[in-house]
Chains A and B, each alone.
Chain A
Amino acid sequence: MDLKLEATSRTPAINLDASAGSLTLSGESYPEDVTGFYAELTSALNAYFESEATALAVDIRLTYFNSSSARALMELLEQLDDAAARGVDISVNWFCDPDDDITREFAEDIAADVRSARVTICDLDVD
């Protein structure tokens, strides 16, 4: 159920580490096939939650995502929120560039309906 994908110029690095109970997405997201790309993460997460996992700490560190990815990220948060509603302890830290107000608003809007998982929008350290 671990999933480790290297970043490409248009897809983020994904690291789901089941033993550590952590998931990280980092890089840029404007895949050619958004649905196909995120489907792999959806099934890895399903397997993880079916394994009686009790917690997951999620870090989202995306420096850019396009509008199709926004929808995929919303579906990811819905999946996490459903697991949280079933009792899994889920916290999401979503890092946004402090200079990019619109992307921060996107993140807030994408996470607006999350009820059971804890989502924190934080500043991404930019060099």
Chain B
Amino acid sequence: MRVGNRKIRVPVSQMFSLLLISVSALASTPAMACHNEIERVRDPRIDALQLADKLLLETDNANAAKIVDRHFPGLRAQKLVRGVLALRGARVLALVSVRSDGGWYQSGELTLGSEKERAANLAWAVRQLDAKAQGAPHSTSPQADLGEAMARVPSERLRARFLLEEMDKVGRLRSPFALAALAELRERSGDAAGAKAARRECVHRTRNAAICKARPKESEPSS
């Protein structure tokens, strides 16, 4: 479905890889019985979230969002998502939106809406990730996710820079996505050497160097 002026297609190869991953996840039997295994069997949403997390790391945003949308319908309608598993789902949707410049998965497609819609999606994403980060103040990845999301919102960039710089200073910035966001923030402030260093570290943290490349500036919503 086309909303706004852009449409992001889910390639057949990605759909096929999703199918393969799903089948292999179901067929693999390395895990043995343990309480976490019992919970996983009882609640299929856990497997779904783990798969969505993995797809997100592999930059397969559309399929990550698709899985979450199927198991947690209607999250976007909630101003602040509640519940541990639902918030995990909201994290995936939020990061998908952040990494697609405010895009949203709906009716089987990841689409980019109007500038206003994209800004609203990003604001929603920051709100959910902020809630998640506040729930785990000593954990690295929720803070990095929040920093990455805030870096996409012009009014939050100062906060994003502060957070990401602080994390980088103590060597706690391990997400290549957050490192790329830091590089971008540094570039904006004219710190070319700092940006280069962040991109270099980003490349060290991933096999997918495309994550670390600078994004075209016109792709962002302006609000």
A associates with B: no
